[in-house]
Structure 1
Amino acid sequence: MSGDNYDIRDDRFAGLIHKNAGLDTLWTGGRWTEGPAYLAAGRYLVWSDIPNDRIMRWDEMNGAIATFEQPCRNHNGHCVDGLGRLVACEHRGRCVSRYEVDGSKTVLADSFNGKRFNSPNDVVVKSDGSVWFTDPSYGIDSDYEGDAAPMEQDGRHVYRIGLDGHISRVIDDLKQPNGLAFTPEEDFLYVSDTGRTHFPGCAPKIRRYPVGPNGTVVGEGEDFVFCDSGLFDGFRVDTSGNIWSSAGDGVHCFAPDGTLLGKIPIDEVVANLCFGGPKRNRLFICATTSIRAIYVRARGATL
């Protein structure tokens, strides 16, 4: 069953949407919007406009748009940690940083084994406070989204920053690791691979990795779902374990068993999304040049 706002592939999707809820356009004017994060205490959304080297801000209370920071070192992904602090992936800074409660910035990680990261892309904070992030090469491939530079690492990998600041490489079997999210119980870590941009034989997919009992390492991964339109970039998981992912034709929703439940069609390529609002039931969507939003019958497991 299809409609103007939804493409329902499985009856379970009907229970995750409001059929009368339309897609709102909150803002337009970006070049490549990315990295949405909802700051619950202030009731506002921030996102990256990477080529324009700026972070934008939308106020939920009055709809006002403002520039949060410019220049911003070509930020990409963001998330909010358990203390409400904004954690950021910087392309040009080639690091993961954090905005402290007093407004200062702390660099959490900028190198591994004495070599600079490629360009940290997306980030998630586990409930124990550890920070997990992906490090593909997009920010150093050209001057459009960062600074063109040679790769110092031996590939494109996924890393973990412990509470003690120790950095470890946790995944090294991906071509271009991109979005990532834990299941609600944090027993699995999902990571998307957008390697097709550089390696034509790399199928666009999300892989699933079991998290070790101590929560610091992951086991051998497996291909979980594949994309039938464009690439999976950023994504989030709701409290029931469903995956809401960006794709070339909108937002795709997958059940915890990997079934494609349905899609929210959008007329631009979607790069990333997050849950927000006071009830965490509004999906904020970065759609190339614009920010869209839609209410769903699901709550984000994290912001």
Structure 2
Amino acid sequence: MNPSKLTLVMAALLVCSQAFSQEIEDKRGIVAKNAELVKVQDGFEFTEGPAVNRFGDVFFTDQPNNRIHKWNAISNEVSVFKEDAGRSNGMYFMLDGTLVAAADNKNELWAFDTDGNHTIWIKAFKGKKLNGPNDLWVRPKGGIYFTDPLYVRPYWEDREKESEQAGQNVYFLSADKTELFTVAEDLTQPNGIVGTPDGKFLYVSDIGAKKTYKYEMREDGYLINKTLFCELGSDGMTIDDRGNVYLTGDGVTVFNRNGDQIAHIPVPAKWTANVVFGALDRKTLFITAMDAVYTLQMKNRGVW
């Protein structure tokens, strides 16, 4: 990017913190007292994929503009981390600082180092293009689960608009990246995904069926004992230290570990795409919604 273009981009992305006093439904007191939703910045096209590093900074994507941005948890400033980001969607940080991204420009899984240099970890499955990796979660013991729904993108130029795979599935990539296999093949359109920090349970949203399921994770990565968690689908998802699960779409809807709705956080946008806990204490809920990103102070902490 040339300097003049970068100046225009950053001018359009000036921090514009603005509080919203919409009523938050909170049955269990998970939101900090008197907290309000704050718009950190707007001027994007469609924000997605928030991922938190060990310093509490949140990296998120503006997928139509093919950029990854960084929110500094201390200064509250947003900067451009990576141009030409492979149309990254969902992202997640590994313990060594590697940022893994579902890059659906060519239906791949990418990994970025701290300087923004990328390597391609997955290009295909059984010799055929994936539908478009969408969201992912890194298991504490190693290995990556990711969803692969089919959303036809206007920027696809070198592929057919129909799936080369047999379905829209969930995959597992082993920690040493030598094995890639399907772990859920009976979903309509899997999207959001998140696991528990003990590595025992995985939540997968079937947004096409408007449901979210809970699985047990086996040591080898396979999923067993699928159960219905709640009658609501989700785009992105996160989890807090009490086991509450945060789903997105119409704002943020929170369910306890039993699948009972305990909170709803309205967001002034047509669609809320994703959510994660940021800041060093993991008590700042960071929300990506259409052309803007928001924060909300919480009592509960996120897990990482």
Shared fold by TM > 0.5? yes
Matched, 1:209 2:228: no
Residue 173 of structure 2 is matched in structure 1 by 161
Residue 170 of structure 1 is matched in structure 2 by 183
Q: Which stretches in structure 2 are left out of the alignment for 5+ residues?
A: 1-20
Matched to 2:283, the amino acid is N
Structure 1 counterpart SS, 2:64: helix
Distance 1:237 1:193 in 2: 17
Distance 2:99 2:153 in 1: 27
What is the CA-CA distance between 1:144 and the residue it aligns to? 5.4
2:234 and 2:247 in contact (8 A); partners too: yes
2:229 to 224, 228, 240: 224
2:112 to 87, 99, 112: 99
Matched, 1:234 2:236: yes
Query: Which digits, 9 at most, give the CA deviation of each residue in 1:72-96, with x for residues without a partner?
Result: 2211001111212211110103111
Query: Which digits, 9 at most, give the CA deviation of each residue in 1:254-273, with x for residues without a partner?
Result: 00011100111111121101
Residue 31 of structure 1 is matched in structure 2 by 45
Residue 54 of structure 2 is matched in structure 1 by 40
What is the CA-CA distance between 1:63 and the residue it aligns to? 2.9
Structure 2 counterpart SS, 1:233: coil
Structure 1 counterpart SS, 2:193: strand
1:184 and 1:237 in contact (8 A); partners too: no
Structure 2 counterpart SS, 1:115: coil
Question: What root-mean-square deviation, in Å, do the aligned CA atoms of Structure 1 and Structure 2 show?
Answer: 1.9
How do residues 1-303 of structure 1 correspond to structure 2 at under 5 angstroms? 4-8=22-26, 10=27, 13-14=28-29, 16-41=30-55, 43-101=56-114, 103-138=116-151, 141-143=152-154, 149=160, 150-165=162-177, 166-195=179-208, 202=209, 204-212=210-218, 214-227=219-232, 231-248=233-250, 250-268=251-269, 269-302=271-304
Matched to 2:121, the amino acid is L
What is the CA-CA distance between 1:66 and the residue it aligns to? 2.0
1:51 and 1:144 in contact (8 A); partners too: no
Query: What TM-score do the two structures reach when normalised by structure 1?
Result: 0.87
Identity of aligned residues (%): 32
What is the CA-CA distance between 1:100 and the residue it aligns to? 2.7
Change in Cα spacing, 1:209 to 1:162, as seen in structure 2 (3 Å) is: same
Query: What TM-score do the two structures reach when normalised by structure 2?
Result: 0.87
Distance 2:221 2:216 in 1: 11
1:91 and 1:146 in contact (8 A); partners too: no
How many aligned positions are there? 281
Distance 2:200 2:54 in 1: 26
2:105 and 2:155 in contact (8 A); partners too: no
Matched to 2:108, the amino acid is C
